[in-house]
Amino acid sequence: MDVALARDWMRAAADLIAADADRLTQLDSAIGDGDHGVNLNRGFTAVVAALEKSPPETVSEVLVKAGATLMSRVGGASGPLYGTALRSAGKALPATAEVAPADLGAALQAGLAAVRKLGGAAPGDKTLVDAFTPALEAFDKAVAQGGGLAEAAGAAARAAEAGAEATVPLQARKGRASYLGERSIGHQDPGATSTSLIFRALADVS
Ligand code: ADP
Ligand code: MG
Ligand code: MG
């Protein structure tokens, strides 16, 4: 991945989130406060603007800047969580113009670890961790088998989508949806859904 591809990824993520903002908000209306699509659309629009205003020179800087922008522009749980994920991933990357798929996989694992530390969610708690975790497992497996970025990102996107769908029968144990107790069962988690869009965006540009 080079810096242009990293920027394309963030732009593609912003486009997919904008196109699905109403769906994300509807999912959040069922088990949250109905702002997830609005939150992320505002955040990723700001990310694209920030990257255009002062274009970074490394993949690391793209992700750090994207994360910092999400943290400062998105209220609610998802801003700090996605902000931490991208910033931590960026900080874990070498400061080179180009990074290898294995480096990106390791950096994204650092991002997931930071999200889990911040939010305290484990797999099965019906959060974005339930899409993020299988996505990175699939990404790493594809890279270990000699796959390039396109294959790894495609596998990650499919695994994230399956992970998001698998949140439907779960009862939420973290975030606002956990206040609903058993009534959170039967709905897809909005954050897991937006995570699948972010990995789909990576697959689309790779
Ligand atoms: P808020 O709930 O503050 O309105 P959003 O609607 O933007 O924030 O985001 C909700 C999503 O955030 C949830 O669907 C879930 O995936 C994710 N989330 C909430 N709390 C946590 C947590 N502690 N750890 C991981 N993800 C979380
Ligand atoms: Mg919400
Ligand atoms: Mg909210």
| Cβ–ligand 1 contact at 41 (below 6 Å) | no
Biggest alpha carbon distance in the chain?
48
Give pLDDT, residue 152: 98
Give pLDDT, residue 4: 97
Q: Whose alpha carbon is nearest atom 27 of ligand 1? A: 127
Q: How many CB atoms lie within 10 A of CB 52?
A: 10
| Cβ–ligand 1 contact at 37 (below 6 Å) | no
Q: What token pair was written down for 152?
A: 């790894």
CA of 37 to the centre of ligand 2 (A): 8
Q: Whose alpha carbon is nearest atom 19 of ligand 1? A: 175
CA of 118 to the centre of ligand 1 (A): 12
Q: Structurally, what CATH architecture does the domain formed by 3-205 represent?
A: Alpha Horseshoe (1.25)
Q: Whose alpha carbon is nearest atom 6 of ligand 1? A: 36
Q: Among all ligands shown, which has an atom nearest to the Cα of 34?
A: 2
Q: What token pair was written down for 66?
A: 């994207």
Give pLDDT, residue 89: 98
Q: How many CB atoms lie within 10 A of CB 8?
A: 18
The angle, 0 to 180 degrees and rounded to 10, between the axes of the packed helices 149-165 and 101-119 is 30
Q: Got the DSSP string for 176-187?
A: GGGGGGGGGTTS
> For the chain, first and last CA: distance in Å?
8
State how far the Cα of 102 lies from the Cα of 140, in Å rounded to an integer: 7
Give pLDDT, residue 191: 98
- ipTM confidence score: 0.98
Give pLDDT, residue 75: 85
114-138, pLDDT tens digit by residue? Answer: 999 999 999 999 999 999 999 999 9
State how far the Cα of 69 lies from the Cα of 202, in Å rounded to an integer: 19
22 to 40, 57, 122, 162: CA distances (angstroms): 11, 34, 27, 21
Q: What is the dihedral of CA 167, 168, 173, 175, to 10 degrees?
A: 90
Q: Where in the chain are the domains? A: 3-205
pLDDT in single tens digits along all 206 residues of the chain:
999 999 999 999 999 999 999 999 999 999 999 999 999 999 999 999 999 999 999 999 999 999 999 999 998 899 999 999 999 999 999 999 899 999 999 999 999 999 999 999 999 999 999 999 999 999 999 999 999 999 999 999 999 999 999 999 999 999 999 999 999 999 999 999 999 999 999 999 99
CA of 26 to the centre of ligand 3 (A): 13
